[in-house]
Amino acid sequence: MPADENREVPEHVAIIMDGNGRWAAARGRPRLFGHQAGARRVSEIVAACPGLGVRYLTIFAFSTENWKRSRAEVSGLMALFRRYIVKEAQRLTVNGVRVRFIGDRTRLDPALVRHMDTLETLTRDNDQVHLTVALNYGGRDEIARATRRLAAEVAAGRVDPGDIDACRVERYLDTHGLPDPDLVIRTSGEARVSNFLLWQSAYAEYEFVETLWPDFTAEKFAEVLAGFGKRERRFGAVRA
Ligand code: FPP
């Protein structure tokens, strides 16, 4: 769904949470120590959203490319996601957070997928904050999966190729029904998009901050949001 307003506060913020490994290395600790600290920061940022006026938060937890990491790091991250879901389920539910997961679930451990499904079901009536967790997610992979499903509809004679427009494609994306991100933040000083929400970020504003993710406090989040309010978004039009 395209964003279509000039807002003071972004309705939808997406975050590439980068820098956990460097944060841990700076303390002489293993990478997973950084990911654990990163998970605590996720909770703080989610809790800050209602007070800051952010209704949709999407976070990049694990990319389709992250499987290239060591087996120990990948399994440590998967165990962390599972523990996080179990530990935070109650708090997310009572705090009115609706949780969704995007990405390809077929490569994930079935036990983890069951926890993900349960959390989605538990929180599906919540409306205070919409938290979307990208897990085994890649923008190109999402578009390829959407295209495959759409092509199957065409092959079955249910969709006329002449009717395929951006609106129709959007219906097949993992993010179907969510507003497009207004602001994409990447922490740790890297200025890359890394295959995150490629379709959805067509008109997003980007903010690359130096802070490593485990140091990205609610106060820093508020500062970045304040900067967003000063931007003029034109969505391809000229200044009125
Ligand atoms: C990038 O930092 C971070 C990740 C690939 C994992 C993100 C995961 C978390 C923040 C953990 C908790 C998440 C949830 C949803 C509970 P990096 O490891 O690439 O850091 P580096 O660039 O310094 O090596």
Could you tell me if the CB of 21 is within 6 A of ligand 1?
yes
Q: Which residue has the tokens 């990319």?
A: 63
Give me the pLDDT at residue 133, please. 98
Q: Which residues in the chain come in under a pLDDT of 70? A: 1-6, 239-240
Q: Which amino acid is at 165?
A: D
Distance 215 CA to ligand 1 centre (A): 12
Could you tell me if the CB of 82 is within 6 A of ligand 1?
no
Give me the pLDDT at residue 93, please. 96
Give me the pLDDT at residue 232, please. 79
Q: Which amino acid is at 139?
A: G
- Just list the catalytic residues: 18, 66
Domains of the chain, each with CATH number or no CATH: 12-139+180-228 (3.40.1180.10)
Quote the tokens at residue 204: 């997003």
Give me the pLDDT at residue 1, please. 58
Give me the pLDDT at residue 179, please. 98
Going by alpha carbons, the residue nearest to atom 15 of ligand 1 is 61
CA–CA dist 152, 53 (Å, integer): 40
Give me the pLDDT at residue 6, please. 63
Quote the tokens at residue 21: 């490994």
Give me the pLDDT at residue 108, please. 98
Strand, coil or helix: what is 16? strand
pLDDT digits (tens, 9 = 90+) for 90-140: 999 999 999 999 999 999 999 999 999 999 999 999 999 999 999 999 999
Quote the tokens at residue 186: 């990447």
Going by alpha carbons, the residue nearest to atom 7 of ligand 1 is 61
pTM: 0.95
Query: What residues pair up with 14 in beta bridges, in sequence order?
Result: 58, 184
Give me the pLDDT at residue 10, please. 97
Give me the pLDDT at residue 5, please. 59
Three-class HEC string of 2-60: CCCCCCCCCCEEEEECCCHHHHHHCCCCCHHHHHHHHHHHHHHHHHHHHHHCCCEEEEE
Which atom of ligand 1 is nearest to 213's Cα? 10
Residue 121: in which H helix or E strand, if any? Answer: helix 110-122
For a mutational test of ligand 1's pocket, the pick from 16, 18, 69, i.e. the residue with the most ligand atoms closer than 8 A to its C-beta, is: 18
**Burial, 38: exposed, middle or buried (Cβ in 10 Å; 0-12, 13-18, 19+)?**
buried
